[in-house]
Structure 1
Amino acid sequence: MADKTDPKQSFLHPAYTVTNIQQRVRVLDGEKISYPSWVNLFRLHATGFDVLNHIDGSPTPEATSTKYSSWKKLDAVVLQWIYATLSDDHLVRVLVSESTAYEAWKRVHNLFLNNKGSRVAALQHELTNLTLATMPSLEAYCQRIRELADQLTAVDCPINNTQRVLYLVRGLPREYDVVGSLLNQTLPQWENACDQLQSEARRIAARETVSPTPVVAAVITNPPSHPPNRDNCRAPGTRYDNSCNNRSNTCAPSQPRPQAPAQMPFPYWALPPY
């Protein structure tokens, strides 16, 4: 049984209890999770577990200090967090044999933010050419614009709210012309602009699902024809037959029926003699 009076055994740093770092911070892949998003999540997690000083450049204890051993162990935990939340492609470019957590943090920073000029040009090009038609959904379209804006901010090229909304409207198809014109005029806050687009998307989807009922569709596609007026086909000298025109209710004169030969009222042998 541990001695509760021993300070080394009675205190356990909360960072040692973390077992699901990938679910808390997510894996940085540069696509689904961008570098600015990863930084924000990692800083929030490090603050909550009281290890922010391991990645913010705070001075480290001297190797001869009594605090160095415990600091070194805790720094190794934070270093594992960094490596565990990088994709395989990024990990091989950051992983080294001997490193502190802060040194690894800086390598990740340089990996994404070196060559700022070319990085800014690539991000602006993608943002300018991004359209709703190229994205799987409206939510993904709005999220991608936000991610690109955050990445531009990370390379010291921030865009303001008005520019975000204008980029948002630029890539909309024709069916969003009405709401797009409204957003251009009012330039609301980003979240409000996304909400208005969501409402318009639901309205468009509801309108496209509305179709005529089968009975109405049948009436529209197959208008009833007027039956012929048989009384009009009984004009003198005519008879009703298949030559009637159903629309004009007129009939073509029929051919006269052949007359049967006259029959004698009694047999020929009963005729009186001449």
Structure 2
Amino acid sequence: MTKYASGSGEVKDMALHPAYTVTNIQTKIRTLDGSKVTYSSWKKLFPLYAKAYKVLDHINDTPEPVDTNPGYLQWAEIDALVLQWIYNTLSDELMVRILETDTTAQAAWNKLKSTFLNNKGSRAAALEQEFTNLVDHLRDVENPITQSRLVLQMIRGLPPEFDVVGAYINQSSPSFETARSMLQLEQHKQKARQNQTYSVLAALTSVNRTPQNEAVGQRNQGQPYNNYSSRGTGTRERGFTG
């Protein structure tokens, strides 16, 4: 029976591998397009099927077997199958962005992840605009979002450094504008503390780098033997002329 090697190096029966029973991955995982199906949803769903069909080790950073492993060629076939799953569940635009020759499922998985993480700033701005438009549209149909829902939406998913102020906002239930001002103030305070830290470090670093100390250091790094000889010669000359 044909064997293949898993990412951990374990040799398994390839003929019994459940990945080969998947005839159309698109019937199980919806196509990631960034709008109807978001990356966060897709990356949660894909590993579920990868685990169910015993190929999770191809996308979870498990080291691939060395090419001298007896089952390496069979592992590579399974990996190519998983790579096809990734490509076949992406929109044409996304597939073109990560499509490469002589790559692995893990490399494609990581490249897709980087594609979305690198654009998170612009994506955040776009989502903020979409949220603003949604608020306006709900107001137009006389179903406005309440202040409390706006506040909860704003503080949801804040980074860890805003945990304290976020908890306070959640408990005090201020208006949306007040909560936003509190977050902006906290952001300014954190930035000021960071700048102050940099200033202190810079000052400590420059203590031993004053112009006088640098000049002394440069003189000391010269040729002390010649300097000493020069001073000695000068003394003897004065004694001779005197």
| Kept after mapping to 2: 8 A contact 1:79/1:100 | yes
* Deviations 1:134-172 (CA, angstroms, capped at 9, x unpaired): xxxxxxxxxxxxxxxxxxxxxxxxxxxxxxxxxxxxx44
Q: How does 1:56-205 map to 2 (within 5 A)?
A: 56-131=60-135, 133=137, 171-173=138-140, 175-176=142-143
| Kept after mapping to 2: 8 A contact 1:29/1:86 | yes
Q: Is 1:20 equivalent to 2:15 in the alignment?
A: no
* Deviations 1:63-106 (CA, angstroms, capped at 9, x unpaired): 10113122111101000000111111111111111100000111
**Partners of 1:28 and 1:10 in 2: how far apart?**
29
**Partners of 1:103 and 1:85 in 2: how far apart?**
16
**Partners of 2:75 and 2:35 in 1: how far apart?**
34
- Give the greater-gyration-radius structure (CA): 1
Structure 1 gaps of 5+ residues are 1-5, 134-170, 191-274
| Kept after mapping to 2: 8 A contact 1:25/1:42 | yes
* Superposed displacement of residue 129, structure 1: 2.6
**Partners of 2:57 and 2:50 in 1: how far apart?**
8
Amino acid in structure 1 at the alignment position of 2:30 = R
Q: 1:100 to 1:183 in 2, by over 3 A?
A: same
* Superposed displacement of residue 117, structure 1: 2.5
| Kept after mapping to 2: 8 A contact 1:46/1:52 | yes
* Superposed displacement of residue 184, structure 1: 5.1
Structure 2 equivalent of residue 32 of structure 1: 36
The answer to which structure has the higher helix fraction is: 2
* Deviations 1:107-127 (CA, angstroms, capped at 9, x unpaired): 111222214333322222222
**Partners of 2:127 and 2:146 in 1: how far apart?**
26
What is the TM-score with the length of structure 2 in the denominator? 0.52
Bigger shift: 76-85 or 123-132? 123-132
The one of the two structures with greater contact order (alpha-carbon pairs below 8 A, sep at least 6) is 2
Q: How does 1:255-274 map to 2 (within 5 A)?
A: none
Amino acid in structure 2 at the alignment position of 1:62 = V
* Superposed displacement of residue 131, structure 1: 3.9
User: Percent sequence identity over matched residues?
Assistant: 48
Structure 2 gaps of 5+ residues are 4-12, 157-242
Count of aligned pairs between the two proteins: 145
